[in-house]
Chains A and B, each alone.
Chain A
Amino acid sequence: MSARFLLKKLVQLVPVLFAVSALSFLLLNLLPGDPTVAIHGPTATQESRTRLRHELDLDKPLPARYATWLGHSVTGDLGKSYVSNQPTTEALKQRLPVSLELLLLSQLLALAVAIPLAILAALRPNRLLDRVSTGSAFGLLAIPNFMLGVLLIYLFAVRLHLFPATGYTRFTENPAENLRSLVLPAVTLGAAELAVYLRLLRTDLIATLQEDFITMAKAKGLPTWRILLRHALRPSTFSLVTVAGLNLGRLIGGAFVVEYLFALPGIGALTVESIFKRDYIVVQGTVLLVAVAYVLANFCVDLFYGFLDPRVRHARA
């Protein structure tokens, strides 16, 4: 992969990051509703509110505020919560591991089920296993995640008492409990991803299996499993990997419904709570983090894709 290619991509990245940060800032600062009222309550005096406005720089012009905010953000200072006075970066640091763990578990689950199923389905397309799994995937996609979460809680927590309905234990405290508390949320989150991965990989595999080089591999007398794993799976996984990578970026803050439902102290839950409390600063910080994470994930996936597929790699070199 050439340095020039890398540079070009980096250069494209910067304006996007700028635009994203500007949008985060603008969005929340242009909305109606006076934060001072939200913080001090409706009985606050004019005086105290004016003082607060000055403290929070709300009386300065917009571009100046954006510049200050951006400057602080880059150095890691995302302001302090209006409500709890806790530095946003602190809160994010605390909550990031929770979200990441949930995210990783859900993707692992999804892949662990999707890959073998897709292989089996592609081996015998349009037979029973294939039809059943494709149909189920289709059905799974139709279930909104909050609905699935409620259903899983009902079945496994309320009825069967297998897993806790809500709550979270840190990994460092009790690894077993930690995993137990994450099973239902991970399944909820992973279900939709599972469906997407399954459909994608199955179709890709079926197309690959019809290629001439598969017939050639057969003619060499190689065993089926080897042909599948070594020859068929490899080209088919490219799109899978890119989608999985993009999902990682998307889901860092996007799992908030699941976090809310299962009372997990993650970034998504923080975002939701802050929105309810009109805690602008924190919301700005989390939106910025999530958006930047997504853009960076996109960027990495793009680079990685060029690295994975040797045809692309050499074309760009």
Chain B
Amino acid sequence: MYVELHSRSAFSFLEGASIPEELVAVCANLGMPAMALLDRDGVYGSPRFHLAAKKARIKAHIGAEVTVASGQWSVVRSSGPMPRLALRPFERHVGVEESSGLVLTTDHWPLATEFRLPLLVASRTGYQNLCRLITKMKLRAGHKEGAFASDLDFIEYADGLICLTGGEEGPLAAALKQGGPQAAFEAVKRLAEIFGRSNVGQSNVYVELQRHFRREEEYRNRVAIEIAEALRLPLLATNGVNYSTPRERELADAFTALRHHRTLATAGRLLAPNADRYLKSPAAMRTLFADFPNAIANTVELSSRLEFTLNDLGYEFPRYPVPEGETMMSFLRERTREGMQNRYGREDAELKKRARRQIERELSLIEKLKLAGYFLIVWDLVRFCREQKILAQGRGSAANSAVCYSLGITAVDPIGMELLFERFLSEERGEWPDIDLDLPSGDERERVIQYVYQRYGPRGAAMTANVITYRNRMAAREMGKALGFDPETLKRISAAVATWEFKDENDALDRRLRDAGLDLTHPRIRKYFELCLAAQDLPRHLGQHSGGMVICEGRLDSVVPLEPASMPGRVVVQWDKEDCADMGIIKVDLLGLGMMAALKDSLELIRNHYHEEVDLAHLPADDPVVYSTLQKADTVGMFQVESRAQMACLPRLRPQRFYDIVVQVAIIRPGPIVGNMVNPFLKRRQGREAVTYPHPSLETVLGRTLGVPLFQEQLLRMAMITANFTGGEAEELRRAMGFKRSEARMKPIEEKLRAGMTRNGICGETQEQIIQSITSFALYGFPESHAASFALIAYASAYLKCHYLAAFTAALLNNQPMGFYHPATIVKDAQRHGLKMLPMDVTRSDWKCSLETVASCQLSVASKGKGMQDVENLAVRLGLKYARGLREPAGQALVRERSLAPFASVQDLARRVPELRKDELTTLAEIGALNAVASGQWSVASTNQSEEFVGLSTAHGPLSTASFHRRDALWQVERAVRWPGPLLDELPEIDGESPLAAMTDEERLVADFRATGLTVGPHPMQYRRAEMKRMGIYRASDLAHLPNGRRLRIGGCVIARQRPGTAKGMMFMSLEDETGIANAIVAPDLLQKNRVLLISERFLMIEGILQNQDNVIHIRAEKVSPLRVTRAETASHDFH
């Protein structure tokens, strides 16, 4: 028998070429009882390795190769007599020269360069030591510096670890290369001193032998054997595995080239000499080491010594500090009671009674599961947010909990909404609850994260990692680099490889590479293609998860190694979110939600400019303007209800109360769409179909959704009612059918479900129907609680848009990117609603978009509808952040300097704000942001200059700047940036008038889109409307008045392309013109014929059949052609 105890996976980033699961699968096939994974400087792949091994019934040994640098390791020469290593003469010729005869005069032998020390974990102490050792070396390293351990670190953390002498990158090989056999002897001796022996006298150092059929390796083995004999250390055969099968050697070579920033052609001897670092069978290894059977036998003996597995992680969630005399549970009860008073105090007695009963039930379960600490910690976070006036709202299944609601973690009343607690927490499941907090993205979220670090200590909390894996585009790019493709070709390949969510045979990688102009019949390109496929899903590097945080009682660095994140002040664990969950590490997701930030900014703007205080928790529940806007699908910018698909559903669903928004948020999801739940529900909603139930007993569960299951909670309740499942069993059913669907896991549960139903007399077709409806959307279904949390934010965003359009629009623009549309679309939508958008102006604009009071302004349509509130006429001034390439420090410096004194001229501006570079000033001039400054400069106004946006009231800047055009400013900038020196600095320009002609409309458009990505002037289509009319192109606003089935043409700027995985290859496009947005559906065959056109053209004309069903308007495209409107680089939000 043989156990492979030295292997690397692809988690040794760019060194191994197989994922842990593959290694385990091959190991199981070869009949090995155990295996060890030693990735470079980490245990990144160990959870996946552990779980895969568990499934394959193999023992997974954990370890790591730790990098040691030159100068951080010294081998102290022993005082006693040194044994001379006498190599036999013939063996000498195959290796390096023997230096045993040399008399050394120094007491230290610094080892050559860096080397890797392979360490295996024997016990939990050993694991903790390994984690701390890695953490220490990682956190010690500077930014973008390599992390190295020193011999002192090993002395500190040696307990419980077993050390190998390594292969060609190990300490023995390094010493041998540097100082010959004697140095190698000293190096191993030093290891033996550091790692010592176990309590029963077994050595903790194994002298490793590897045989990859290389001469120099054999020489090293001979030296190693003699050292082992001299020091009485056991030998250990390993294969230094880098990949599971020989064919992966090619990928490993490509990774090597990438790691060294070379190509395969120039990497030379950095590449592997052969393909023998694969997982070999025990029989092959026995044959290979037939002359050293003890080296093979020792692998089994050492494997038996390695007691530790990741089952024994020793993780404990932190205890919350409570006042003297209190327990965590009593403290939680008290906080919940207070919260309940606050939440339900004013509710009716019946609801109060139900709430009290539910809360008591939840608290009992929390006590039983010893989760009080967890709830208190999340409560503490929410409390911190409240104190700091940071909007925070729990999302996900936590909204099912009345305790969470009472503690203020969530904002949805689970009792009032009859939400199912078991979806959140159950005794049977044996899993930690999952509480996610939505926070405003940006600084405020960062403050909360820093609070967690500060509260639990730098070693007590960390962000979860995000393992970046090779996907098509990255694989194509990197493998192209390895093969030495030129940058232009790589760029073309990257562009061609971008794929949509929906993939058909035309989206296969080979097809995409052909599109990029590569000839796949050429052997070299074929090899490239194979490499791209082989690299798929392999980890590339470690990133940081957007919000997942793990906290630990004691030291988190004893559970998993920590690393510095790229953002200062943050540390990240070596495992991703899924791995943490799999290892039973509890996490809190602190998710940054752009809309939360936009809401918070809106409230501030409302306070400062409307002089009103809006409380999101107490918005009017049934605002008619909000519902009428939703019914019209006039929802650009609103949270969760703005997408094209949502807009297509809103006029049919016609929301009339809050619960309708909950349904609306949940219904446009893959689950209901794939399960064909959407149309039946909408038909029933419109009264076109009778409401029926699969079984009368389900009426209470499905009543709210008209007999159609839409939420995960309904699935659980259906199982509970029809098959008498407990809450926990029902949740288990959901998970079995969920993301990691497994036949083996699902089968017994389904049998149980059927048996339960049969017992309750539900048989035959009804049973099948229920099972069908459960299974169809379990995979992608949305929890009702989560939908309700989102619906609250959706309602708030809709309310603010309808009533405070200026503030909401400014806040939206300040928190981009977010949502479905580009800022250009948001601006145009706001303008169509009557909002005045002011162009960027360095004399007025702040860094962010701001509100300004203007003389005459049309109020929003919504406000008009309400009776024309006579609030001050507010307009949105575009912020400096929208000037592309303008750095924030320069922008802020400009605003700061302006507050001291206005700028007298462009030259004055350039001199007083030296942070501004030439390109930044040019950009500002190009978009007209310097017009006002330039106008102050010339007393003699060139009044005959053409004006900007003549006759276009919505887009004008102040009239005073109108006679100065952008090129006047550009002319001035060009002079201002060339400082003539102190002598001539004050010399006025002799002939100051600019000789340049004003920009044409087209030039302004081009400049606006190039420098800001949007225009506050007229829509590009408006300039060409007469021409469009001649071409028979209808405006978007015309479509509502045309009969269904009519053949017509629409045209506009493509603002969104989408090819959802659930739409059978259909592509949905949104075309915008000056009147609104028109939607088109492109069938797969038409898409295939006009692929390049449809994907790359900015303006399109689409001819097809108008479909108007229940005010949902689409054009079913039959013919597409490009439309020449402008050269401006408008952008489309394409969902790849």
Binding between chains A and B: no
Measuring CB to CB, which residues of chain B are less than 8 angstroms from any residue of chain A? none
